[in-house]
Amino acid sequence: VQPVESGGVLVQAGGSLRLSCAAFGRTFRDYAIGWFRLVPGYARESVATITWSGRYTDYADSVEGRFTISRDNAKNTMYLQMNSLKHEDKTVYYCADRSSNSVPLKDPRYDYWGQGTQVTVSS
């Protein structure tokens, strides 16, 4: 069952937004979950990822210090707090999860992907 994202809306540049991702009907895989976003060329770049324990995180340089990933394993939900939003943050955001820990967190080889949620940043 795919995870489900929510929270994508229109926000002004400089504003804040929180995305949520829930895994209904199953437990998030035992290892990593994360947020990716669509970039030109239809590729997905890693935005923020986190291990099951929350001990390790990885952020894209472009969002470091502005975005924060967190997870609530009891609720089977993860979040992406987005602050100081910029026009270039405008795109579709996806959540994903996987059980493998054999590749770096930012590696896009995740098992389950959501449908995506649109974030629009106005000038």
Per-residue pLDDT tens over the stretch 17-58: 999 999 877 777 677 899 999 998 888 999 999 998 889 999
Q: Who has greater pLDDT, 31 or 88? A: 88
Contact present, 4 and 22 (Cβ < 8 Å): yes
Give the closest residue to 6 by CA, choosing from 120, 95, 111: 95
According to the model, what pLDDT value does residue 25 have?
73
Nearest to 24 by CA among 78, 76, 91, 87: 76
Q: Which has more confidence, 28 or 108?
A: 108
| Contact between 96 and 31 (Cβ < 8 Å) | no
Q: Kindly state the percentage of the chain with pLDDT values over 70.
A: 99
Q: For position 66, what pLDDT does the model report? A: 98
Per-residue confidence at 2, pLDDT binned at 50, 70, 90? confident
Residues recorded for the chain: 123
Relative to beta strand 17-22, strand 4-6 is antiparallel
The band of 74, judged by pLDDT with boundaries at 50, 70 and 90, is: confident
**Residue 97: pLDDT band with limits 50, 70, 90:** very high
Higher pLDDT, 78 or 28: 78
* Contact between 60 and 48 (Cβ < 8 Å): yes
Give the number of other CB atoms < 10 A from CB of residue 98. 23
Q: Which single residue is written with the structure tokens 């629009």?
A: 120
pLDDT, residue 41, reads 83
